[in-house]
Amino acid sequence: MKEIAYSILSSDFSKLEDDLNIMLNSGVKYLHYDVMDGHFVNNISFGPHVLSTINKEHKLINDVHLMITNPRDYVEKFVLANADIITFHYEALKNDDDIDEIINLIHTYNCKCGLSIKPKTSVDKIVKFLNKLDLVLIMSVEPGFGGQSFIEENYKKIEVLDGFKKKYGLNFIIEVDGGVNNTNGKKILKSGANLLVCGSYLAKANHKIEAVLNILGD
């Protein structure tokens, strides 16, 4: 599997419908929502209503990334807004029991669950949760703002995570978010990633279908 999740964080919302149609026509299957509360990260984005509204206009897989301090309080809201995957941050919780609780809560709603780690967080910190997850999201930039450059150390991090995945015979998706473009996409995939979040590069591309193919190395 190698797929792109289009992040709407960098989109011009006045042209979002056109962008989504182009993404669908280019073979993109995932739509990535960066949800920020101004506390966990120093930015504010959008809530479940935006997802619910956009969801009426397309048939993409809704990939929700909660960069918020209290993910537990918003799981049900995003499930009701038709999230297909809900990912929350390891760093947002105080202990392992809280993380287990939210993983179980998300699965209770028959929704796929992901766990994300920031650039400075080691993969070793989340190994104990891997057999319970549908997705692991590696942040390849500091979360909060689009348009940042990919942090090179993350290639090794992806390889380490993929190593654990193979060692334990697991099937979770390895997703990478931050600074993904046509120059590094193929190498990120080769390192073990399956799903690449891309916002700024695709938003700025004049020929989006060609840009998608360039990222995937096709």
Give the model confidence (pLDDT) of 50-63 as tens digits. Answer: 999 887 778 899 99
Instruction: Please say if the pLDDT value at position 214 is more than 70.
Output: yes
Average pLDDT along the chain = 92
Residues annotated as catalytic are 34, 177
Mean pLDDT of 36-55: 88
- Residue 218's pLDDT band (cuts 50, 70, 90): low
Instruction: Please say if the pLDDT value at position 146 is more than 70.
Output: no
Please give the pLDDT value at position 77.
Answer: 97
Tokens of 125: 């910190």
Mean pLDDT of 175-182: 94
Please give the pLDDT value at position 16.
Answer: 84
Give the model confidence (pLDDT) of 73-121 as tens digits. Answer: 999 999 999 999 999 999 999 899 999 999 999 999 999 999 999 999 9
Instruction: Please say if the pLDDT value at position 1 is more than 70.
Output: yes
Domains and CATH numbers, the chain: 12-216 (3.20.20.70)
Please give the pLDDT value at position 145.
Answer: 65
- Residue 148's pLDDT band (cuts 50, 70, 90): confident
Mean pLDDT of 203-208: 82
- Residue 17's pLDDT band (cuts 50, 70, 90): confident
pTM of the model as a whole: 0.95
Tokens of 185: 């996409």
